[in-house]
Amino acid sequence: MSFLKGLFGKNESEKLLKSGLECYNSGDYKGAIELYKKVLELDDKNAQAHYGIALSNLNLENFCEAVAEFDETLKCNPLFSSNLLFNRATAKLKINDTEGALADLSKLIVADHKNDRAYFERGMIKVSQGDYNGAIDDFSEAVTIKPDFSEALCALGKTKFLLKDYKKALIDLSKAVEINPNYIPSFFARGLTEIELGHFPEAEENFKRVISLSPKNIEAMYQIAVIKDKLDDSENVFKAIDDILSLDPSFSKAFFLRASMKLRHREFDAAESDYSKIIELCPDDALGYVERGNVRRILFDYQGAKEDYIVATRLDPTLIDVHYNLGLLETDFKNYEAAFNCFTKVIELDPNHADAFFRRGVVNYFKKKFNDAISDLNKSLEINPDNFEAFLHRGNAKVGLEDNYGAINDYTKALMNPSYSEAFMCRGNVKYKLGDYYGAVADFSKAINIDPKDPAKYFSRANANKAMENSNEAIDDLNKAIIFNPKFAKAYFLRGLLFYNMRSYRNAINDWENAIKLNPNFSQQLNPWIAEAKKKVV
């Protein structure tokens, strides 16, 4: 009796398996699953039924269930068809189990070393993991097994492209299009490769081929616009962009390209408008905010630029240049604590960012944290010993610590750039402070030779000449300072004092009255002198 029952059960299972297969082949995957489950009610170790349920779930995109049933299949029959490994790898990829998929494909290759598809899929996984050389090995093996495997040749060329081996990439992609002249990815990739090689007409032909196969392929149209841009064919770039946006008004890359062209044409308002459109389309894309912030800086909308940079750093905290630019803006706004935090963030992201240490050092100087400023500027110079500005600002910090001779030494080092007039001025100021008026005059004179139209430099030299009682030379300097800046109140003040000491009282009165007109705050100090001078006028 038990023999007859087993025989009956076997016959029933076979009928159900056959019916399940018919449902599967007709696309009725849910019906197939129900039939295969009935088989398992009769024989829960039936590997074919588990496999049928797994494949049906795979087609229904129930990937976790599919993986579980593939596992059950192997438990029932460890020597089940090697195709199972390929299908399970496919399901694992869908649930982001990349390592599991890689392991299955590797097992499949050991079991069937001529399986070109397994090498191809494993190569694709390796590309996603950044293992480009490993991927190239797998794609090459797939092509060796199947020389007309155009997809593998295309993938091989694209991977070599990623390694910037453009000439070899071009060879593989050309073979791919020769084998399959209707495979769009090969033409597209070859077009990108031709662009990198500077072969713009050839690149354009590839993208035109893509469009002939897919007339509304916006990405190919965009690449043609990029090529026209590289050839400085502005008219056709704008036309191509208009065509793209007529097909897809939300294609953000077209707005990016148009904005970049507007910038080159110095149409800053139009560029800002395009970046605003990009932000409207892609509010979570940091790049739109970055670029609009950059344009707003050009337009002197520093508050707007700051707001854009802040949003960009919230969306992507790793944007080093944006943190840096935000630090510059905060410095200009005199928000020194915020600037300090921005430059500190840059340093956290890039510990060898010499400019960030330099800028943080300057901020620390403004905060009167002179020792911290020197520490940052030391680090900046350690990374970039040619930053002459860092020597100057370190000199300023040393002045803040009353290390005047150390400051002079740093200002002298800053003069590795012999046309750096500010270093001569700073060194001259310290020499003046130390009573070395001759040395101060010499430095101020060198600064004036570099920038002969700066009234402040003449004023500083006039002070030094006055200290040496060179009144005529001092007046000559102040005359020039006033020529270059007729509203220079301090220059009138000082020249009036010199005239008074030379008993040229009318000139003194005239200069002091001008000084008060330009700066009424001088009236309290100068009015008594004016009254005294008037008494002495003959």
**Amino acid occupying residue 161:** F
> Has residue 5 got a pLDDT over 90?
no
Rg (CA), the chain: 39
296-307 pLDDT, tens digit each: 999 999 999 999
pLDDT of residue 329: 96
Cβ–Cβ < 8 Å for 348, 341:
no
Cβ–Cβ < 8 Å for 444, 425:
yes
Sign, CA torsion 303/306/310/315: positive
pLDDT of residue 79: 86
> Has residue 2 got a pLDDT over 80?
no
d(C-alpha 395, C-alpha 388), whole Å: 11
- Residue 438: inside a domain: no
- Residue 386: inside a domain: no
- Residue 227: inside a domain: no
Instruction: Return phi, psi of residue 401, to 5°.
Output: -95, 10
Count how many domains the chain has.
1
- Residue 519: inside a domain: yes
Residue 242: pLDDT band (50, 70, 90) is: very high
Query: What 8-state DSSP symbol labels residue 115?
Result: -
pLDDT of residue 538: 67
Q: Which tokens in the block code for residue 509?
A: 């009165």
245-261 pLDDT, tens digit each: 999 999 999 999 999 99
Is 272 exposed, middle or buried, given 0-12, 13-18 or 19+ CB atoms closer than 10 A? buried
Domain of 532? 487-538
Cβ–Cβ < 8 Å for 347, 371:
no
- Residue 517: inside a domain: yes
405-453 pLDDT, tens digit each: 999 999 999 999 999 999 999 999 999 999 999 999 999 999 999 999 9
- Residue 498: inside a domain: yes
Closest CA relative to residue 265, chosen from 308, 302, 232, 307: 232
Residue 4: pLDDT band (50, 70, 90) is: very low
Q: Which tokens in the block code for residue 483?
A: 């020529």
493-510 pLDDT, tens digit each: 999 999 999 999 999 999
> Has residue 3 got a pLDDT over 60?
no
- Residue 194: inside a domain: no
- Residue 496: inside a domain: yes
